[in-house]
Amino acid sequence: MISKGLGQALLDIGYDVTGRETVGEFKSAGFTHQVEIVANDLREYFWREDAHVICNSFGGYLFLHAQALIGKPYIGNVILLAPIVGEFADDDELRPMNFIPPQPEKLFELAKSNRFPRPLNCEIHVGSEDWQSCPNAVAFGKLVCMNVNVVKGAGHNLPKDYVSRLLNEWSKRKSS
């Protein structure tokens, strides 16, 4: 929820918070339409160098696909927290879990062929124990020369103190 957690932390340090949540009407829009909505939001409201975009988990997946749809590098500032970048599975033999998002190979195909329009100012932050994001995010980051920060010992939900420090540092860079 934008009004809780990460959204509230952003409000607390003085950001105006506008965004999409993967709930309700937006969730039922279907993946292709969600990507189109995010791409339109970026072009219409946030296509400027001083814009700040933060995406968490599947929101990162939507952002990256929107970036691919737009076809040119995003000029604002982006932080992707534990982004989903493609298909993933865990190693649990008793209760295995996996997730195959829509178009799971598209981002890697674009990256491998040097056709992914890498945002100009983008950071990825992922936990070392995050089986949902870490291996794919690190591999994708290397392919597109994007900075990936691996948080030792962290899972998919990055520690609150780490994210708070990150947001405070980002806020200072924003105002300088």
- The per-residue pLDDT for range 151-162, each reduced to its tens digit, is 999 999 999 899
Query: How distant, in Å, are the alpha carbons of 17, 21, 25, 47, 104 from that of 4?
Result: 11, 11, 19, 25, 29
Indicate whether 126 pLDDT > 80: yes
Of the candidates 126, 123, 124, the one whose C-alpha atom is nearest the C-alpha of residue 88 is 126
Asked if 33 and 54 touch (Cβ cutoff 8 Å), the reply is: no
Entry pTM: 0.90
Mean pLDDT of 80-98: 79
Whole-angstrom Cα distance, residue 110 to residue 100?
18
Look at domain 5-175 and name its CATH class. Answer: alpha beta
